[in-house]
A and B are shown apart, each in its own frame.
Chain A
Amino acid sequence: MTPPLEHLELVLDAAPGPLLPQVRRLLAERLGPDAEALRWAITGLSSASTPGPTRLTLEAVVLRSPL
């Protein structure tokens, strides 16, 4: 049985501009229509000093069961 809640780590290669729409888009793509992130936060930054997109790490608690 799929656990109702699980913890995921995701990576976002952030483009310039507002982050929130990018995070929401990433979560929607990765979780699909039957799950939602109950709680998430950007918890790390992988490549602040390297060229290219900023790579951000997100941690999310995902609610998988439709309720």
Chain B
Amino acid sequence: MSTAGEGLPPLPTLMVVPTGVGCRVGGFAGDALPAARLLAGASGCLITHPNVLNAAALYWSDPRLHYVEGWALNRFAAGDLALAPVRRQRVGLVLDAAVEEPLRLRHLQVAQACGASLGLPIGPVVTTEKPLGVTLARGSSGASWGTIQAVDALLRAGERAVAGGATAVAVVARFPDDPDPGALEAYRHGEGVDGLAGAEAVISHLLSRHLGVPCAHAPALAPLPPDPRVDARAVAEELGHTFLPCVLVGLSRAPDLVPVPLAPNGGGRVLWRADQLGAVVAPAGALGGEAVLACAERGTPLIGVTGNPCLLQVDGAALGLPVIAASSYAEAAGLVLALREGLALETPALRAAPLA
């Protein structure tokens, strides 16, 4: 019995599902993870970002899935960083001083449990010198974004974590509870945009850019009242007291970030570079981000998934990019496997019209 791609070298593939733009798949609570697992199986090596893989208390650890925060992913795609796979990371934990008891204790217990039950090296735990002051907002497109007031406190805390031995950093910021009740209700019921996601990306981008190590973020929030109507794609965020377990697991084997000018031969380490990517997979209407543009303009085959609409309509025609259309992630995985097998995608057998 053989498995997909067995005997073939991996086809490193980048999967992007932009954060905070209401993607039908991946716009909720790690709900693009099944698609990522399939693409990892097809490619043998899938590089993607926490928004795809984080499902709060749920996670999936697979040696073919590589967890790279969005700022680092953009720099990787642009050719500024290489990725070096590692056996493990020691994950430091930065807690926003605004996280109150008993929510703080819940997060500390996640760190303890990941150590005791999963065997992950966690620590040190650092608290910011002052509350980070997270605020949430929307752009005119409807995409979520946000800011923090105490950028310096976040970065200093990250520095202390690294000085204390962390090789990757998880950060937990206290987010406003229910700032837009209508939008939150819509999100819980499978409509609209994740109002937290844009601010989360800003926080993790700041820390990754400053520290140069794998970073990711989990928001701290008061629990919501139970609701039997919560959409299955969002329900992972309703299961526990924190969103932190997936972040600690994801970072525990996240690849190192290696600046390309400093690593001409990588010191003997295995390195992945953007020019080794064999495909990039993204929602067909959200192709205007830095990582996708950098790959497409380098000539990496770009697979646009039309079955994952979002509130943007920035497609290949709008941008003048050649796009291989896939109606679903299952079809995208087939295309990735075909590329890995060396098949010509225009072969009639692969592009047969559907039966009437």
Chain A residues engaging chain B, CB cutoff 8 angstroms:
3-7, 9, 16, 18-20, 23, 38-45, 48, 54, 56-59, 61, 63, 65, 67
Contact = CB atoms under 8 A, between A and B. Distances in A.
Contacts of B267: none
A5 B151 contact: yes
A38 B202 contact: yes
9 closest pairs, A vs B, by CB? A42-B288, A43-B141, A5-B147, A4-B151, A59-B139, A45-B318, A41-B289, A18-B297, A20-B293
B205 interface: yes
A19 B297 contact: yes
Given A19-B297, A20-B293, A5 B155 contact: no
Given A7-B137, A59-B139, A40 B290 contact: yes
Contact of A67 (B140, B151, B314): B151
A43 B320 CA distance: 15
14 contacts: A4-B147, A5-B148, A5-B151, A7-B137, A7-B145, A20-B297, A38-B206, A41-B143, A54-B320, A57-B141, A58-B288, A61-B205, A63-B151, A67-B152
Of A18, A19, A39, most buried by chain B (CB within 10 Å of CB) is A39
Contact of A59 (B141, B152, B290): B141
A39 B143 contact: no
A23 B78 CA distance: 13
Contacts of B18: 41
Interface of A is mostly: strand
Contacts, number: 95
Interface residues of B, number: 37
Scoring B71, B313, B318 by chain A CB atoms within 10 A of each residue's CB, the highest score goes to: B318
A39 B201 contact: yes
Given A20-B293, A45-B318, A39 B205 contact: yes
Nearest to B77: A20
A20 B205 CA distance: 20
Contacts of B313: 44-45
B130 interface: no
B255 interface: no
Interface in B134-161: 137, 139-141, 143, 145, 147-149, 151-152, 155
A12 to B, nearest CB: 10
Nearest to A18: B297
A53 to B, nearest CB: 11
B71 A38 contact: yes
A43 B147 contact: no
A62 to B, nearest CB: 10
Given A18-B297, A20-B294, A20-B297, A43 B151 contact: no
Contacts of A58: 288
B269 interface: no
A57 to B, nearest CB: 7
Nearest to A6: B147
